[in-house]
Amino acid sequence: MQVSDSALDWLLEDDDPSVRYRTLTELLGRGATEREPAAARMAIPDSPAVAAALEPLAADGSWQYAHRDQPNRYLKFVTASLSYIAELGLDRDDPRASSAVEHLFSLQQEDGDFFRHYSCYNGLILRTLNRLGFRDDRRTARLRELLLNSIRHDGGFHCDMRPKRGRDASPPHKSCIKGSLKALLAFAEDPELRGTEECEMVAGYFLRRHVCFRTDDLSTPVVPQLLQLSFPIIYRPGLVEALYAMSALGYGRRPEMDRAWASLAGRQRPDGRFALEASVNWPHLRTTPRGHANKWITLYACLALKHRERRTAAKGNGQGAKENGGRQTTTTGGSKDPPSIRQERKRRQRRRSPFARQTTPSYGGQAADGIRQRPAGLAPSPRLGPSPRLWPTGRCPRKDPPSVRQDLARRASGLHGNATPPNDQSIRQGPARHPPSLKLRSVGKDRALQNSGRRRQRRRHRPSPRLGPSLKQRRSPVAKAMDLR
């Protein structure tokens, strides 16, 4: 799959100045101040698409919508409309877009959220604000911080305030791939988020699913809408935006992406164009009819291909880093390991051995240049690895296999070669050369066993509240009198 000349000429036609401007600047790399891009940008505010998109906009920045009394539906309408005019090329210099953004900020809460922490709203709104030129606004910074703090353990996002059905039901344990996709777009286009650890976690979430498929069945999409070619980019998912975001982050050449690329290549027409398969029914968001070739779908598919080839060329030239937003960040496309493995490797590098945390040298260790040295009697073990993490961390060695216990005892006592290691009984008794924590644990466990045995003996003679009094208490007064005789 490649960008054909006929498709490129089609995107550069004058009938749609928004597509022409973004093709010249983003796809062909032309400067915004050059003659042709500048002329296309000057024609955007007066284009028919912009006029139709701003038709429901009121003078105060609000939107005329039939279901304005319902916060969820109204925010969905506002977010989709702002995202569309940001795609067309408007920015904060246009007073109409600026007033609409101020109205959107009036719906924001103190923590930066807009409605029940819906991740699809937060990710899409952050991307829209960045495109409209509000990247440095403090209210945008609050939303960006909320998105960073909302990432889950698996790298995805979900709606925190949407519990399962039933009384006192907990939130869903699985992340929402629709909301995670909008967050992925925000990470791909925000210089302050690109290259962070959270960005790698989000990319790893989609790599484990081969972009849009189930983890237990890689031939079945998570939701059918993920394989559709949809526009505009609003709350619903689409295949082109996922490939565009992953390629912009440098993951376009990963083998996990091959299935998604094949799905996109199978729907390319002979002339290099792509058809629209899904859209919305709002009349102010004008798109081509379903089944017809769409310029926006074709443009984003070409941008995804460009980012994939550009990242591959940068890797081949040895350019491992690039400048983003005045900050040096490392490109992640050249790494061969998944993000989860790289994070675990970094975590292990930061984790120091137990001997480095001691304030004074123990077991004969000496300090040199502020770094604790390994004791001479603790040689690296081929079974446990070079770092003795299990000794002496307070873990009882009786739970380990005999071979591991003997190896631990040999390393603690300084025995090497063919020396006779101590048996399991010496470890259990806790000799003087063993750490005090193991001896205290062994003694405490023995005392606990003794106390439990005494409690069982006392309960044996205690009357049961369910069975009633004992046999001695059930004897009649006549029997007690006979005992007195």
Over its C-alpha atoms, the chain yields an Rg (Å, rounded) of: 33
Nearest Cα residue to 372 out of 387, 380, 362: 362
Considering only the C-alpha atoms of the chain, give the largest distance between any 2 of them, rounded to a whole number of Å.
126
pLDDT of residue 395: 44
Bridge-based pairing state of the strands 321-324 and 327-330: antiparallel
Q: What per-residue confidence (pLDDT) applies to 405?
A: 67
**What are the beta bridge partners of residue 372?**
367
Is 128 within 8 Å of 79 (Cβ atoms)? Answer: yes
Q: Partners of 197 in the beta sheet?
A: none
207/209 Cα distance (integer angstroms)? 5
Q: Is there a contact between 212 and 222 (Cβ–Cβ < 8 Å)?
A: yes
Query: Which residues, including other chains, have CB under 8 Å from residue 211's CB and lie 6 or more apart?
Result: 226, 239, 242, 243, 246, 256, 257, 259, 260
Question: Using CA atoms, how far apart are residues 278 and 231, in angstroms rounded to an integer?
Answer: 7
Q: Look at the block and give the residue holding tokens 């930066």.
A: 112
Cβ atoms of 246 and 214 within 8 Å: the answer is no
Question: Among residues 130, 136, 116, 134, which one has the least CA distance to residue 75?
Answer: 116
8 Å CB contact between 127 and 186? yes
Q: Residue 371 — φ and ψ, nearest 5°?
A: -115, 130
Q: Are 250 and 331 in contact (CB under 8 A)?
A: yes
Residue 139, CA distances (Å) to 38, 74, 104, 156 in order: 30, 20, 11, 23
SS3 for 32? coil
Question: What pLDDT was estimated at residue 163?
Answer: 52
Region of 430 on the Ramachandran plot (φ > 0 left; ψ -120 to 50 alpha; else beta): left
Q: Which two tokens stand for residue 75?
A: 């925010």
Q: Contact at 8 Å (CB) between 301 and 8?
A: no
Residue 102: count of CB within 10 angstroms of its CB: 14
Terminal C-alpha separation, the chain: 110
Cβ-count burial 30-56 (b if 16+ within 10 Å, e if not): beeeeeebeebbebbbebebbeebbeb
Do residues 6 and 298 make contact, with C-beta atoms less than 8 angstroms apart? no
Q: Which domains does the chain have, with CATH numbers?
A: 5-162+175-319+328-343 (1.50.10), 379-442 (no CATH)
Element (DSSP H or E) covering residue 321: strand 321-324
pLDDT tens-digit profile, the chain (485 residues): 788 889 999 999 999 999 999 999 999 999 999 999 999 999 999 999 999 999 999 999 999 998 999 999 999 999 999 999 999 999 999 999 999 999 999 999 999 999 988 999 999 999 999 999 999 999 999 999 999 999 998 999 987 655 555 555 555 568 899 999 999 999 999 999 998 999 999 999 999 999 999 999 999 999 999 999 999 999 889 999 999 999 999 999 999 999 999 999 999 999 999 999 999 989 899 889 999 999 999 999 999 999 998 765 444 444 433 334 433 333 343 344 556 566 665 665 554 434 333 333 333 334 333 334 444 444 444 444 444 443 344 444 445 566 666 666 666 665 444 444 445 444 444 444 445 444 444 455 556 656 656 555 555 555 555 555 555 555 566 556 655 55
Q: Where does 213-285 have alpha helices with state H?
A: 239-248, 258-265
Element of type H or E holding 449: helix 436-460
Give the rounded distance of the alpha carbon of 67 from its chain centre.
33
Cβ partners under 8 Å of residue 412, min gap 6? 363, 377, 378, 391, 392, 433, 434, 435
Residue 368, pLDDT score = 38
List alpha helices for 150-196, DSSP H.
177-189
Specify the pLDDT at position 408: 66
The confidence score (pLDDT) of residue 328 equals: 37
